[in-house]
Amino acid sequence: MKNQYQRLFKDYKHLIENKRVGLFCNQVSFDFTEGKYLFQMLSPASRSVSVLIPEHGLFAELQDQVPVENLSTYRDLDKTVSYVSLYISTPDKTDHIAESLDGIDTLIIDIQDIGVRYYTFLPTIAEVFKVLIDKELSVSVVVIDRPNPAGRQVEGTILKEEFSSLIGLTGLPHRYGLTLGELCMFLRSQYNGDFPLQIINKEPDKMPVNPSPNIPNINTCRIFSGQCLLEGTNLSEGRGTTRPFEIFGAPFLGDLPSGWLEKWNEENTAAVLRPIQFVPTFHKHKNQLCYGFQLHPGEEIHSLLYSLKMIRSLKDNLNEMKWLEGPYEAGSDKPAIKLLVGDGDLIEYLNGRVEEETILSRIHDQEKKWIEMTQPYLLYDEPLLQVY
């Protein structure tokens, strides 16, 4: 059994034995030595176990924004365990979460975050924390911490309430550099919570199991803070290929002016764009030949800045490139680009109404503010850092 699970069953035995346990997890919650998922190991020791499932399902079998419709498919794994999806889009979501937590003594969080605020696992945890606090539930929380695969690098600006959604938690920058355990400590403090919170310190393994269907490797995590903004455009962000967010393009990208690519790569050396053609098997431009690029990042890249500049340049040079219109995320009427960018100045920059120097200064100051603000919550020796 891996060390973290050994510590869970030894040091927090009193929170498991004969207790009603909730486990927020997906397929990453697996012990390779035992050959079992954590909920299967908890079941014999606990009074009851409820598996709380995030976006993408228990095994990352579902694409983005697709709800779990048939929980019965999981029951053959362990018939003594109950299964509840926390990824739902209904007006009574808070009541659903409260009902899911009702009767639980201990909540164990064992999920892989990827270090960027667009990822829905952390906002779901935030929703759970708010319910614990608002409903004054008597629940002890244990977080099995993991390394942040995007590292300690910080990028972007701190999100204001007006842009808040399930792909943007108020108070977080685009890329935050903290581990999930550190973030849970930060959130409990921000929400003035006093529920018991224990962090089982991380081990060095980075993403032995990929956390969702479009995060195939650690390299994806390094560029996700910038490349995910492509979801707000009519370009394919590479969903439906084997390298989403690294690969991107559209049928009309072949209309770029001659010399654009050479000039771009010469002036923006943090990464190299390699011209390619691809056919997405699903999502945008399904089954259509797309002209585009694969992004090959260097050792140091500020992915958000790189992609902001690239998207603006592409939009300036392609008449067919547009922002996606209409609501994007349940619970918000804002289009995708506004929810993802989450900052008025950065949106104005993308629309050509603010100069690069303005956003550089703003991003730098906001990153510095975040690093200073989160110092009390750091659990590990590695400092947060800025890269330009």
Full DSSP string of 162-198: GG-BTTB-TT--SB----HHHHHHHHHHHTT--S-EE
Query: Are 276 and 127 found together in one domain?
Result: no
The pTM of the full predicted model, rounded to 2 decimals, is 0.96
How high is the pLDDT of residue 271?
98
Strands 290-297 and 247-250 come out as antiparallel
* pLDDT of 148 above 90: yes
Residue 334 CB coordination number (10 Å)? 18
Give the Cα separation of 144 and 138 in Å (integer).
Answer: 20
**CATH number for the domain including 168?**
3.40.50.12170
Establish if 207 belongs to a structural domain: no
Establish if 242 belongs to a structural domain: yes
Q: Of 321, 342, 363, which marks where a domain is finished?
A: 342
Question: Does residue 292 contact residue 274 with C-beta atoms inside 8 Å?
Answer: no
Sign of CA dihedral 305, 306, 309, 312: negative
H or E stretch at 6: helix 3-11
Tokens of 339: 């929810």
Residue 294 pairs in a beta bridge with 247, 274
Establish if 265 belongs to a structural domain: yes
Query: Are 264 and 299 found together in one domain?
Result: yes
Query: Are 56 and 130 found together in one domain?
Result: yes
For residue 130, give the 3-state DSSP assignment: helix
Query: Are 178 and 314 found together in one domain?
Result: no
* pLDDT of 261 above 80: yes
Encode 353-379 in three state secondary structure: CCCHHHHHHHHHHHHHHHHHHCHHHCC
Query: Are 12 and 122 found together in one domain?
Result: yes
Query: Are 55 and 95 found together in one domain?
Result: yes
Residues 58-71, mean pLDDT to the nearest whole number: 93
Q: What domain count does the chain have?
A: 2
Query: Are 158 and 267 found together in one domain?
Result: no
Establish if 348 belongs to a structural domain: no
Question: Does residue 5 contact residue 25 with C-beta atoms inside 8 Å?
Answer: no
Give the Cα separation of 239 and 17 in Å (integer).
Answer: 43
How high is the pLDDT of residue 327?
86
Query: Are 36 and 175 found together in one domain?
Result: yes
Establish if 127 belongs to a structural domain: yes
Q: Of 168, 200, 232, which marks where a domain is finished?
A: 200
**Containing structural domain, residue 259:** 218-342
Establish if 176 belongs to a structural domain: yes
Give the Cα separation of 25 and 335 in Å (integer).
Answer: 29
Query: Are 129 and 237 found together in one domain?
Result: no
How high is the pLDDT of residue 56?
97
Establish if 53 belongs to a structural domain: yes
Encode 316-355 in three state secondary structure: HHCCCCCECCCCCCCCCCCCHHHHHHCCHHHHHHHCCCCC
Residues 178-194, mean pLDDT to the nearest whole number: 98
Query: Are 93 and 168 found together in one domain?
Result: yes
pLDDT-above-90 percentage for the chain:
94
Query: Are 27 and 99 found together in one domain?
Result: yes
Establish if 260 belongs to a structural domain: yes
Residue 76: CA count within 13 A, CB half-sphere: 2
**CATH number for the domain including 254?**
3.90.1150
Q: Compute the mean pLDDT over every residue in the chain, rounded to the nearest whole number.
A: 96
Q: Of 200, 230, 250, which marks where a domain is finished?
A: 200
**pLDDT interval class at 329 (50, 70, 90):** confident
Residue 375 CB coordination number (10 Å)? 9
Query: Are 47 and 153 found together in one domain?
Result: yes
Query: 79: which residues sit within 8 A by CB, 6+ positions away?
Result: none
Angle 356-373/303-317 helices, nearest 10 degrees?
160
341-387: pLDDT as tens digits? 999 999 999 999 999 999 999 999 999 999 999 999 999 999 999 99
